Amino acid sequence: MSNDPSSWLRKSTQLLKRSKTLASKLSTPLTVDVGKKHEAIAEQFLIRQGLTLKERNYHSRRGEIDLIMTDGEILVFVEVRYRKHSAYGSASESVDRRKQQKLIKAAQHYLLKQYRHNEPPCRFDVIAIAGNNSKKPLEWLPNAFTL
């Protein structure tokens, strides 16, 4: 390798791009499988609590809602979060203000599309699922945040 700094930087940048591309191709299916598994766990838990499933993985340009359920007359938008380790914070802590805003916008899109201007009462729940060594593997936070 030459001592030219620009040559070194160019080669390093190319290697980094290749490794990121390879890592994303390798991890994406696994991440999707893990996410779907934990969403299914959350769904079954909420059904046992008396909620009824309306829709899974609602997508809009504004974001995605993992589960849309009803709790009596209340429409419930559910965000499912999983963390294998809590080194970077707990699963529930990962639903920060930015994520909340994306969920709110996706929910507003859903409400406008499905209910027009006759919206039912709504709430946002979070299901936080922790890794295997946690004392509290599943935490349900009803009405975790509001508009």
Per DSSP, helices labelled H in 2-49 are 5-48
**Does the pLDDT value for residue 90 go beyond 80?**
no
Name the nearest CA neighbour of 140 among 75, 33, 57, 43. Answer: 43
pLDDT of res. 115? 92
Distance CA 65, CA 57 (A): 5
Task: Tell how strand 138-145 and strand 122-130 pair up.
Answer: antiparallel
Per-residue pLDDT for 69 more than 80? Answer: yes
Question: So where are the chain's domains?
Answer: 5-145
Q: How does the average pLDDT of the chain come out, rounded? A: 83
Distances (CA, A) of 5 to 1, 8, 10: 10, 5, 9
d(CA 130, CA 138): 6
Q: Choose which CATH entry (3.40.50.300, 3.30.530.20, 3.40.50.10860, 3.40.1350.10) describes domain 5-145.
A: 3.40.1350.10
The better pLDDT of the pair 23, 137 is held by 137
Task: Determine the average pLDDT of the residues in 3-23.
Answer: 58
In the predicted structure, residue 89 carries a pLDDT above the cut 90: no
